[in-house]
Structure 1
Amino acid sequence: MVMKKKIDGMECRTEKDSIGSKDIPEGVYYGVQSLRAAENFRITGLSMHPEVINSLAQIKKAAAITNCEIGLLDKHIAEAIVKACDEIMEGRLHDEFIVDPIQGGAGTSINMNANEVIANRAIELLGGQKGDYSIVHPNDHVNCGQSTNDVIPTAGKMTSLKLLKNAKKELERLHKALCDKGEEFDTIIKMGRTQMQDAVPIRLGQEFKAYSVAIQRDINRMEKAQEEMRTLNMGGTAIGTGINADEAYLRRIVPNLARISDMDLVQAYDLIDATQNLDPFVAVSGAVKACAVTLSKIANDFRLMSSGPRCGFGEINLPAKQNGSSIMPGKVNPVIPEVVNQVAFNIIGNDVTITMAAEAGQLELNAFEPIVFYCLFQSIDTLAYAVETFVDNCVSGITANRERCKELVDNSVGIVTALCPHVGYAKAASLAKTAVKTGESVRKLILEEGLLNEEELNEILDVKNMTEPGISGKELLLKNME
């Protein structure tokens, strides 16, 4: 029997938990424990990530099927729970998940939010009234064989797998875009720089190819990170000992969950370890952070190479996406690289939080999984979104200023490095200083001093040859002596 009353003209039902009684709006699917948590944890003002909700529904569905298979759950109750879970996985009832992503209690609040929503929808499907937990109980039926301490880490890993898959897809698009630009710009010679000073020539295509190699390394890290997320402590219940979980349930729950989710999931060899420790999430965050660092460095390079357009490097042009100033007419800023930089800064900060939260666990459980998941899911999501806009609104539309690149190479003293094997380091350094002081070209100074003839100089200072392994200085000297 569900007790009902009107409060300020609104129909309510009364629910009880170990804390006491509480009035719940009659029409909602969440219950007393969800409402208490929503009132206690007004932290971010945000909703739970939709993929967390979907993962929880998949877990509860797998548990209901498993408990029915081994005779611990009546078939009609199991079918109602499964139906409720299917509806959630289709996107329904997500607004009934009212608990803030950051919460105390190691995730008990969101676990109970899921249990209550699923129970009340199952009750409704069976013809009962929401809140009549004698029909379907959030703990006894929906949470049967489970604990927050195996459900929440499992939901976190499943969600991570889903989000990493999307991030990897976007990174593969970026890798291809950079490879394409590498080929397009392969014949463009420009000045390489170290510590922001002229170094030696490089092909613009080589720079873009190098970016693509770095991104491929990040993709490889993402793949390894995904493997970290496939091992679950499902069945370990409270502390990994499997208390209150039937032995048959323990054997079947992960295979059933793998089938339902269409994921390659395995049960941890040591459920106690898998319940205590969050280092797999630290590893994933580390891979995401490393990728963010790579992206930010590339974004920095794009901002430098495109600086100007008249008074900077001006070696490449970024697509003009929006006005750059409310006061300076015609100004266009590198807004896409800038947003990539900012996403990277945030991801790096999230990684620190994740690291500290994982370290702060004690004994058989880490209570700080909610903040780990909040930061990690934000990092993976924003990384994917940043890469998407980086590809579509920046990288794919980059063009090169071939003549500007050539001009900077021709006027640079960096090519003097190639002379070291022929005139010695000290003399090469002296030539560089003279060229900087007088504004004369290195080539002209060498010819004036008679250090090398025109033919020798042309071969040595062939900037194309400077950009890849070729004939060594010693070999050239021997050739000239023949």
Structure 2
Amino acid sequence: MGGKRLDARIEYDSFGPIQIPANSYWGAQTARARDELFTCGWKYHPKLIEAIVLVKKAAASVNSELGRLDSRLADAIVQACDEVLSGQWRDQIIAEPLQSGSGLALNININEVLANRAEELLGGNAGEYKLLDPHRHLNLSQASNDVFTTAMRLAVITALKEFEPALLDLERLLRRKALEFAKIVKVGRSHLRDSVPITLGQEFNAFGSTVERSFKNLKESSNCLFELNIGGTQIGTGWDAHPSYQARMVDKLSVFSKFRLKPGEDLLRMSQSMSDFVQVSSALRQLAIELGKIANDLRLLNSGPEAGIAEIKMPAVLLSPSPLLPDGLPEEAQPLLAESLNMVCFQIIGMDLSIALAAQAGQLETNPMAAAILHNLVQAIDLLKQGLFAFNQKCLAGITVDNERCQQLLASSGALFAAVSEQIGLDDARALFKMHEENPERLRQALLEGNVLSPPVIEKILNHAYFTTASIRPRVNGAMESAS
């Protein structure tokens, strides 16, 4: 910071004088918020701070173009904004998310930081406000209500864009595993009971389709966020904003953000209602529910190693001693990354509830709980992104199949018995299976070596597609009697 500084300076607001650290760019009102409002140590998300600074940069340019702000002042504000966007002065943003629901404290904090830094760039000193005033110049044509909610939209769009690669990678890995396991026939399960066969590839492909659909739903839900309410000022009526301000701001923000933004159709609705954010949060919750179910299924298929299903094996990331005989039995690998993904999903579902409660708590023309909505929504997106990056590469990519275990369980489930019964009848099938009940795997060999069925028929019923594609099953003599 330029200029010689003392340890502190005195600034004034409506309550009187207040002492400010001399090396601070924030001013009197931010100091009041720090001293008088609730604090818990939480920080505003960097994406929101960047989005608000982007709005301030656009506003300075547009107000200058419209003749409402001297170009020299506008240039200094734009330079100060660029400094913050490049990572400078972030320690000067000290407002906290739960201090003021409409983002008032953060808007004030950023206005003061930018005004004081721009004052220095113009040759003045921070805290004097001789050339630039935080409210008259930095908040010109704006109110915290439209600035904050516009920045919310930009922050969520940015967070979702950064989240997309993790979700696409998840679907890609699931589809790849589906191809890898395409010919692995195993027991299907309904109500956790043995059912008709399925391939492991079909299970993983269904997981991939679930992720694909959830991703599409999330994308569609976020389309409404590209509509901005900037220019609505206090409550959506555009009080103290130039008639051309909104359209120019949207154009400028589109250039700065590289997003295809558009003016809001009803700024009053966008001031009153947080439903656009609820819609995105709901889609994120749906995704979390689906991912939690997939993680649960993988943990079940991995259960074991001896007394569980154990059809797949997750990569070992940590080993723990056997609880039965630590010094005599092998160490065990726990499904930690799948469990972590479950916990991440639980957290996101809880955040969605907080967002829903905050959204319905608005009154009349504004919602004073907007900061809680943004804090939870962007944190949820980031949390799921981090959870998926770890799960994708350290767990899902390394999953392998125990084909021998799959065939063992399949033979024990009655699937092969049903296939043979369709060809030779129930009585002969029972007799054949009775001979090999102690060793179901020997039955397969007996079918191949004996003359019970012709080789083409044996090849047909042992093929992975026999029980796992749509077909009308032949009726077996005695089947109804057996079922009864």
TM-score normalised to structure 2 length: 0.87
d(CA) in 1 for partners of 2:296 and 2:373?
29
* SS at structure 1 position matched to 2:380: helix
C-alpha spacing 1:250/1:468, structure 2 compared with 1 (3 Å): same
Secondary structure of the structure 2 residue equivalent to 1:141: coil
For residues 13 and 275 of structure 1, the distance between their equivalents in structure 2, rounded to whole angstroms, comes to 38
Q: 1:59 to 1:317 in 2, by over 3 A?
A: same
Counterpart of 2:346, as a letter, is F
Tell me whether 266-275 or 103-112 shows the greater mean CA deviation.
103-112
Q: 1:136 and 1:110 mapped to 2: Cα distance?
A: 19
Output the CA distance in 1 between the equivalents of 2:420 and 2:207: 29
Does structure 1 retain, via aligned residues, the 8 Å contact 2:314–2:400? yes
One-letter amino acid of the structure 1 residue matched with residue 397 of structure 2: S
Task: State how far apart, in whole Å, the 2-side matches of 1:130 and 1:272 are.
Answer: 37
Q: Sort the Cα spacing of 1:420 and 1:305 in 2 relative to 1 into closer, same or farther, 3 A.
A: same
115, 121, 131: which is aligned to 1:119?
115
Could you tell which deviates more after superposition, 326-335 or 270-279?
Answer: 326-335
- Report the CA distance between 1:226 and its aligned residue: 2.6
CA distance 1:31–1:341, shift in 2 (3 Å): same
- Equivalents in 2 of 1:221, 1:422: separation in Å? 46
Paired amino acid for 2:72: H
**SS in structure 2 opposite 1:102?**
coil
Q: 1:239-278 counterparts in 2 under 5 A?
A: 239-278=235-274
2:312 matches 1:316: yes
Structure 1: how far apart are the matches of 2:38 and 2:463? 62
What is the Cα deviation at residue 473 of structure 1? 2.3
Please report how far the alpha carbon of residue 457 of structure 1 lies from its aligned counterpart in structure 2 after TM superposition: 8.6
Work out whether 1:393 is the aligned partner of 2:394.
yes
Unaligned runs of 5+ in 2: 447-451, 478-484
3-state SS in 2 of match to 1:320: coil
- Paired with 1:414 and 1:360, the residues of 2 have a C-alpha distance of 56
Instruction: Report the count of equivalent residues.
Output: 455
Q: Verify the 8 A CA contact 1:41 1:100 in the aligned structure 2.
A: no
- What is the Cα deviation at residue 331 of structure 1? 2.2
Q: Could you tell me which residue of structure 2 aligns to residue 465 of structure 1?
A: 465
Aligned match of 2:26 in 26, 30, 38? 30
Following TM superposition, by how much is the alpha carbon of 1:219 offset from its aligned partner in structure 2, in angstroms? 1.6
Q: Mean alpha-carbon deviation: is it higher for 371-380 or for 323-332? A: 323-332
Change (3 A) 1:399 1:373: same
Return the letter of the residue paired with 2:290: T
Preserved contact between residue 119 and residue 138 of structure 1 (Cα < 8 Å): yes
Relative to structure 1, the CA distance from residue 85 to residue 423 in structure 2 (aligned partners, 3 Å threshold; closer, same or farther) is farther
Distance (Å, rounded) in 1 between the aligned partners of 2:212 and 2:383: 19
Deviations 1:114-133 (A, max 9, x none): 11111111111111111111
What's the CA shift string for 1:115-167, capped at 9, x where partnerless?
11111111111111111112111111011100011000011110000000111
| Contact preservation (8 Å) 1:323, 1:332 | yes
Is the 8 Å Cα contact of residues 35 and 98 (structure 1) preserved in structure 2? no
Offset of 1:314 from its aligned partner?
Answer: 1.2
Unaligned runs of 5+ in 1: 448-452, 478-482
Amino acid at match of 1:464: H
Higher alpha-carbon deviation: 305-314 or 332-341: 305-314
Aligned to 1:376: 377
**Correspondence for 2:86 among 85, 90, 96:** 90
**Which residue is 1:361 aligned to?**
362
Partner of 2:41: 45
Per-residue CA distance 1:50-69 (angstroms, 9 max, x = gap): 11111111000000000000
Query: Quick one: which amino acid aligns to residue 144 of structure 2?
Result: T
Displacement of 1:418 in angstroms is 6.6
Report the alpha carbon displacement of residue 320 of structure 1 after superposing the two structures with TM.
1.0
Please tell me whether the aligned partners of residues 101 and 368 of structure 2 are also in contact (alpha carbons under 8 angstroms). yes
CA deviation map 1:17-67 (0-9, x unaligned) = 233321110101111222222334444412211111111110000000000
Q: Which amino acid aligns with 2:468?
A: E
1:464 is displaced (CA, Å) by 2.3
Give yes or no for contact 1:232–1:265 (8 Å, CA) kept in 2.
yes
1:331 paired to 2:335: no
Deviation at 1:441, TM superposition (A): 6.8
Letter in 1 for 2:469: P
In structure 2, the CA distance between the partners of 1:416 and 1:194, relative to structure 1 (3 Å rule), is farther
Aligned to 1:206: 202
Change in CA separation of 1:105 and 1:374 when aligned onto 2, cut-off 3 Å: closer
Q: 1:416-435 alignment to 2 at 5 Å? A: none
3-state SS, counterpart of residue 197 of structure 2: strand
Relative to structure 1, is the Cα distance of residues 341 and 41 closer, same or farther in structure 2, using a 3 angstrom cutoff? farther
When residues 146 and 133 of structure 1 are mapped into structure 2, their CA distance, relative to the original with a 3 A threshold, is same
Aligned-CA RMSD value: 2.9
TM-superposition CA deviations, 1:387-427 (whole Å, max 9, x none):
11111111111111111111110111356677999999xx9
CA distance in 1, matches of 2:321, 2:144: 51
1:167 matched to 2:163: yes
Q: 1:193 to 1:202 in 2, by over 3 A?
A: same
Segment of structure 1 superposing worse, 140-149 or 45-54: 45-54
Alignment-mate amino acid for residue 170 of structure 1? A
TM-aligned CA deviation for residue 201 of structure 1: 1.0
* 8 A contact 1:41–1:99 mirrored in 2: no
CA distance in 2, matches of 1:154, 1:421: 66
- AA matched with 1:271: L
Displacement after TM superposition at 1:233 (Å)? 0.6
Partner of 2:481: none
Contact kept, 8 Å, 1:190 with 1:405, in 2: the verdict is: yes
Call closer, same or farther: CA 1:398–1:24 in 2, change over 3 Å: same
SS in 1 for 2:187: strand
Matched residue, 1:55? 51
Structure 2 vs 1, CA of residues 473 and 413 (structure 1 numbering), >3 Å: closer, same or farther?
Answer: closer
Whether contact under 8 Å (1:200, 1:417) holds in the other structure is no
In the alignment, the residues of structure 2 paired with residue 346 and residue 254 of structure 1 have an alpha-carbon distance, to the nearest angstrom, of: 34
1:406 & 1:441 partners in 2: Cα distance? 9
| Distance in 2 between residues matched to 1:391 and 1:131, nearest whole Å | 50
* Identity in percent: 37
Q: Which residue of 2 aligns with 1:290?
A: 286
1:476: Cα distance to partner?
A: 9.8
Alpha-carbon contact 1:201-1:463 (below 8 Å) kept: no
| Contact preservation (8 Å) 1:422, 1:473 | no
Residue of structure 1 equivalent to 2:482: none
Matches of 1:467 and 1:31 in 2, distance apart?
A: 73
CA–CA separation in structure 2 for the residues paired with 1:39 and 1:197? 62
Call closer, same or farther: CA 1:228–1:320 in 2, change over 3 Å: same
